[in-house]
């Protein structure tokens, strides 16, 4: 007798009065939830459902609904259903629990405890519909010393910079973890928006080389797809040290996802697992990082800014200070709520610190050391909307990375089952018939719409504060107030309490 220790999380409800028995749900669900019994009657296997809403969204008569399964264990504050179920799972399989996207646990979201200022009487707010409002952003090392030539003219010592029309970039998601169509949509949208996307650590598919001026290429511990043409192809190079969702560990793309194109792009054999080691095996210390930075600069003729991406961990401000002194032009900090294609659940839910605190601490530390201008700071990991961006920039960021929000724009429904490779929305999958569901042109349009809308919102909030250029917002912490925060949190964030 088979005993089910735990029940499925969701129930698929079919309204029999509405259902026209067309069977689209069967073809649309790659998780094989929907099927017909011997008599041809439509059934649903709840236990296979990940709640991705594909069937709901494609049902022509709105006959489907997915609801939370209300079954419950005996109530216990210490032992949640989640905890109990996971023990059953591990007792059954002996495996590490994997999960996708950012942590779902109820940690404080500091963005939501910060309020934005606006002008009243003593200075005017600025109407972005009538006055110029600038969001153009440059990322890179700044020169704080002005030199003059013999004629008294300013010497232009150009350092490598990235130029963005708005301070938003699409963060690293590798080809492999997401589909080629998703990459195409990101690349085309980045070009339209005059911003950058990041190809992640899985190399750059040859069809995307024409978007190089709008691409950040990544060099990670697995060195997948890294060759001189690749290094030359992008606008900037990012050394990935860590990821917010899984600081301290590497990655694992299963052989099943390594098809011909991915194998070619990553320069690894087809069908074999692609393992990214936890550390870079040529970086065991900060002086080693400097060497990799220099190697990449040397390889690209000192023309491209080097980004170093790290996960926000406890002593992040000293780490960032060390990186700033190691030749990096830009530092990307990824907060612990950041997304992932797959990460061990316990790491995702317990390792690292919130990006808001990490950002505030790093910006302040770099200023105290007088080296804030020697790098730009880009933050990511849970940027959900334009107000988060305003707060991030006022805390001290130069720009933000968004990953999850971009995927949601492409259709992701946050079911958090990316690692299974059956993404019904054609995003986190390599199955051809699923990838086809994501139309890159439509995806591009949706991404352009999202970022354009956010940029308008940024301008409106800036105008409200009487600020008409994004650089005057950067690090302008007087524009922020905390609500419901204790003194220590306010101190770390470097902001005053509401009412102060």
Partner 1 sequence: MKREGEVRIPSGCAISGIFSKKRRLFSGEMAIDSIRVMHDRSNGLGGGFAGYGIYPEYQEYFALHVLYDDRKAKVETEEFLEEHFDVINLSKIPTRKIHAIKDEPLIWRYFVEPLRTRLMESQLEEYEYTARCVMKVNLHIKGACIISSGKNMGVFKAMGYPEDVGEFYRLEDYKGYCWTAHGRYPTNTPGWWGGAHPFSLLDVSVVHNGEISSYDANRRFMEMFGYKCTLQTDTEVIAYMIDYFHRKQGLPLDKVASILAAPLWSTIDRMEEKQKREITYLRKNFSSALITGPFSILVGFEGGLMALNDRLKLRSLVVGEKDDMVYMGSEESAIRILENDFDKLTYPKGGVPYIVKLEDQQ
Task: Write the CB contacts of 158 (distance below 8 Å, at least 6 apart in sequence).
Answer: none
Q: Of 266 and 474, which CB lies nearer to partner 1 in the complex structure? A: 474
Burial class from Cβ neighbours inside 10 Å (0-12, 13-18, 19+) for residue 33 reads: buried
Residues found in the chain: 500
Smaller CB separation from partner 1, 432 or 491: 491
Q: Which of 144, 291, 318, 350 binds partner 1 (CB under 8 A)?
A: 144
CB of 122 to partner 1, least distance (A): 4
Query: Could you say which of 295, 472, 490, 492 contacts partner 1 (CB under 8 A)?
Result: 472
Distance CA 62, CA 342 (A): 32
- Contacting partner 1 (CB under 8 A), which of 10, 110, 111, 161? 161
Residue 136 beta carbon to partner 1: minimum distance, rounded to whole angstroms: 5
Q: Does 37 help bind partner 1 (rule: CB under 8 A)?
A: no
Contacts of 426 (CB under 8 A, 6+ apart): 179, 181, 182, 411, 434, 435, 436, 437, 438
List 2, 3, 148, 298, residue binding partner 1 (CB under 8 A):
148
Q: Which of 145, 149, 151, 487 binds partner 1 (CB under 8 A)?
A: 145
Residue 85 interacting with partner 1 (CB under 8 A): no
CA distance 198 to 309: 12
Interface stretch with partner 1, choices 30-38, 59-67, 133-141, 259-267 (CB under 8 A): 133-141
- As measured in angstroms, the least distance from the Cβ of 146 to partner 1 is 5
Residue 314 sits in the site that holds partner 1 (CB under 8 A): no
In terms of CB distance, is 20 or 155 closer to partner 1?
A: 155
Q: What are 480's strand-pairing partners? A: 116
Per CB under 8 A, the segment of 37-45, 88-96, 146-154, 303-311 that binds partner 1 is: 146-154
Q: Which is nearer to partner 1, 267 or 478 (CB)?
A: 478
**Chain residues in the site for partner 1 (CB under 8 A):** 119, 122-124, 126, 131-132, 134, 136, 138, 142-146, 148, 154, 156, 158, 161, 367, 370, 372-373, 465-469, 471-479
């Amino acid at each position: 007798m088979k005993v089910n220790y735990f029940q499925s999380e969701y129930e698929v409800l079919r309204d029999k009065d509405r259902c026209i028995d067309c069977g689209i749900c069967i073809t649309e669900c790659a998780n094989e939830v929907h099927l017909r019994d011997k008599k041809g009657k439509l059934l649903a296997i709840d236990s296979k459902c990940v709640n991705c809403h594909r069937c709901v969204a494609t049902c022509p008569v709105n006959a489907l609904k997915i609801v939370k399964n209300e079954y419950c264990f005996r109530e216990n504050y210490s032992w949640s259903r989640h905890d109990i179920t996971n023990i059953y799972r591990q007792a059954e399989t002996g495996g590490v629990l994997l999960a996708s996207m950012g942590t779902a646990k109820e940690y404080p979201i500091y963005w939501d405890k910060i309020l934005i200022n606006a002008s009243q009487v003593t200075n005017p707010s600025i109407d972005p519909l009538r006055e110029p409002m600038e969001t153009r952003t440059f990322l890179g090392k700044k020169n704080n010393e002005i030199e003059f030539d013999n004629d008294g003219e300013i010497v232009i010592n150009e350092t490598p910079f990235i130029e963005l029309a708005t301070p938003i970039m699409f963060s690293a998601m590798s080809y492999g973890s997401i589909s080629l169509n998703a990459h195409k949509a990101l690349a085309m949208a980045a070009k339209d928006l005059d911003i950058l996307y990041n190809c992640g650590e899985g190399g750059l598919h040859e069809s995307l080389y024409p978007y190089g001026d709008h691409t950040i290429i990544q060099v990670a511990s697995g060195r997948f797809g890294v060759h001189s043409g690749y290094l030359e192809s992008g606008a900037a190079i990012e050394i990935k040290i860590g990821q917010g969702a899984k600081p301290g560990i590497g990655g694992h793309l299963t052989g099943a996802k390594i098809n011909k194109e991915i194998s070619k792009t990553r320069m690894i054999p087809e069908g074999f697992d692609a393992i990214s080691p936890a550390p870079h095996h040529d970086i065991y210390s900060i002086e080693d990082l400097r060497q990799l930075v220099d190697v990449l600069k040397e390889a690209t003729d000192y023309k491209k800014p080097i980004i170093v991406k790290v996960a926000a961990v406890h002593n992040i401000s000293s780490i960032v200070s060390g990186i700033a002194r190691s030749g990096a032009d830009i530092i990307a900090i990824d907060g612990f709520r950041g997304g992932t294609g797959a990460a061990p659940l316990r790491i995702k839910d317990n390792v690292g610190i919130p990006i808001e605190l990490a950002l505030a601490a790093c910006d302040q530390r770099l200023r105290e050391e007088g080296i804030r201008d020697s790098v730009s700071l880009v933050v990511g990991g849970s940027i959900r909307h334009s107000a988060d961006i305003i707060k991030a920039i006022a805390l001290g960021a130069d720009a933000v990375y968004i990953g999850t929000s971009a995927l949601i724009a492409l259709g992701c429904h946050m079911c958090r089952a990316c690692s299974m490779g059956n993404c019904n929305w054609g995003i986190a999958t390599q199955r051809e018939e699923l990838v086809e569901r994501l139309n890159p042109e439509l995806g591009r349009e949706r991404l352009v719409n999202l970022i354009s809308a956010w940029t308008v919102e940024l301008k409106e909030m800036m105008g409200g504060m009487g600020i008409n250029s994004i650089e005057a917002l950067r690090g302008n912490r007087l524009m922020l107030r905390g609500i419901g925060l204790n003194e220590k949190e306010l101190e770390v964030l470097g902001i005053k309490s509401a009412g102060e």
